[in-house]
Amino acid sequence: MPPTEKHPASPGAWRPGTVALHVVLVVFALASMLVASSYSAMPQPASGLRLAWAGAGMVLGTGVASLVLVRGRYPVLVAVVGSIYALLLPGDSFVALVGLASVVATRPRRQVLAVGGLVTLATGAAVLRDASRPAAGQVFSSTQPGGEVVAAPVWSHVLVFVLALGVAVGVGLYRRARRDLTEVRAQSREQAQTTQHLRTELTRQEERDLIAREVHDTLAHRLSLVSLQAGALEVVAAGDPELQEAASAVQANAHRSLDDLRGLIGVLRDPASARSATTEPPVQLSLDDLAELLTTTREAGTPVVATVVVSDATSASAPFTHAVYRIVQESLTNASKHAPGLPLDVALTASAASGLHLRVSNPLPCEARAGGVPGAGAGVTGIHERVRLLGGRAQVGPHDGRFVVDVWLPWVVHSA
């Protein structure tokens, strides 16, 4: 734990209650210094040396008393200076006891024992000094009805000594217990939050595992069957080049879909793996792959007129190029599903200076020709989500008799 966390609140951040406590401590410290120094001069008021010693105690006691204001920040200093003052001058050990309470509350055991021994010695010296003076010079002396001054019994000085040290240590232990309790409560809250976070992550992981199993058991199985059937068709169509080429393309796409599916299932099952922990997508796709994507769409029977102008392609980040590929792929898929056989226009310009602009449009199909594959709109939602994550803009929908996908993305540079 950092040292600053072991200290009480900084004196600069006083609250009303703290200010009142400081005032009370300073007043008590000054009063104890002045009273102890004054009584030390009473037995021999004519002695110049004793008066000078008492005067020094009063003057220096004022400065020592002010140290209680910094007991929170410098408890060891306060306790040591207060102890030295009580040992060398006819003052009181009140400041040393205040410092000891702060040391017990905030410092390790070794410092507590060392400082506690010094404060005990200083307090014992102050009490012994008072007990060794004549009755007139004792702070705890009493005056009889006849005017006679009677010295305090020895047991009263012992009681003052024990009470002074006991109160200082007790206050310090109480403050330490409160601080420890506060730290325990804070740690308990942090552990509760961590436990809740882990419980949530565990629930999400169980959901991801369930999705991964379902995807693997359904899509992977069906794609494998498509690949096998396409391979068989390719063998059967050995005498028909066009049919053989189409079967080969279907098999290649099925294999590629299986690879993509395996990568996604791996991320679902182990999101904390090295591959999923990075910002890189599970399957690396670049802008160069767009040519193959357009060719595959043409071979599938969709007339495509494409204009692609790309500059600075090597500087684009992998997440950026992956998102662009998926957006183009989804746009082409939507057109093939909902407007099969209709001409498709694709215009893509990209550079580091102006970003990327994509426009994919196709005529809206007539109701008589509406024979496309039904969809749930998840593809359009995916386009908007990818664009939003990259900080771009997207407009998707009918416009002037055509269905248009218009996307602009800021250029994302590959980080070194």
**Interatomic CA distance for residues 263 and 133, integer angstroms:** 92
pLDDT attached to residue 358: 94
Residues 375-400, mean pLDDT to the nearest whole number: 83
In a domain, 315, yes or no: yes
In the block, which residue shows the tokens 């008393």? 65
H/E element holding 5?
helix 3-6
pLDDT attached to residue 42: 65
In a domain, 195, yes or no: no
Inter-residue contact 124 to 116 (CB < 8 Å) = no
**Interatomic CA distance for residues 249 and 378, integer angstroms:** 26
In a domain, 98, yes or no: yes
CA distances from 264 to 95, 130, 202 (A): 70, 85, 19
Q: Which of 4-18, 191-205, 252-266 has the lowest average pLDDT?
A: 4-18
pLDDT attached to residue 9: 45
Pairing of strands 304-310, 344-351: parallel
pTM > 0.85: no
Instruction: Identify the domain boundary among 87, 119, 152.
Output: 152
Q: Taking 80 as the threshold, does the pLDDT of residue 136 lie above it?
A: no
- Kindly report, residue by residue over 251-262, the tens digit of the pLDDT: 777 777 777 777
pLDDT grade for 278, boundaries at 50, 70 and 90: very low
Inter-residue contact 324 to 386 (CB < 8 Å) = no
Q: Which of 9-13, 26-30, 222-226, 361-365 has the lowest average pLDDT?
A: 9-13
Residues 59-82, mean pLDDT to the nearest whole number: 85
Q: Taking 80 as the threshold, does the pLDDT of residue 165 lie above it?
A: yes
In a domain, 314, yes or no: yes
H runs (alpha helix) in 47-153: 48-65, 75-88, 94-106, 109-132
In a domain, 144, yes or no: yes
Inter-residue contact 315 to 413 (CB < 8 Å) = yes
Inter-residue contact 140 to 156 (CB < 8 Å) = yes
In a domain, 70, yes or no: yes
Q: Taking 80 as the threshold, does the pLDDT of residue 79 lie above it?
A: yes
**Interatomic CA distance for residues 59 and 44, integer angstroms:** 20
In a domain, 228, yes or no: no
Q: What is the domain range of residue 340?
A: 285-367+375-416
CATH number at residue 302: 3.30.565.10
Q: Residue 260 burial (CB < 10 Å; 0-12/13-18/19+)? A: middle
Q: Taking 70 as the threshold, does the pLDDT of residue 267 lie above it?
A: no
Residue 355 tokens, joined: 């970003």
pLDDT attached to residue 252: 77
**Interatomic CA distance for residues 111 and 107, integer angstroms:** 6
Instruction: Identify the domain boundary among 152, 182, 216.
Output: 152
CA-nearest of 246, 258, 253, 251 to 221 is 258
Domain count across the chain: 2
In a domain, 226, yes or no: no
Instruction: Identify the domain boundary among 152, 171, 192.
Output: 152
pLDDT attached to residue 245: 77
Q: Taking 90 as the threshold, does the pLDDT of residue 404 lie above it?
A: yes
H runs (alpha helix) in 133-288: 154-215, 221-236, 241-269, 274-277
Inter-residue contact 172 to 166 (CB < 8 Å) = no
CA-nearest of 257, 317, 246, 319 to 282 is 319
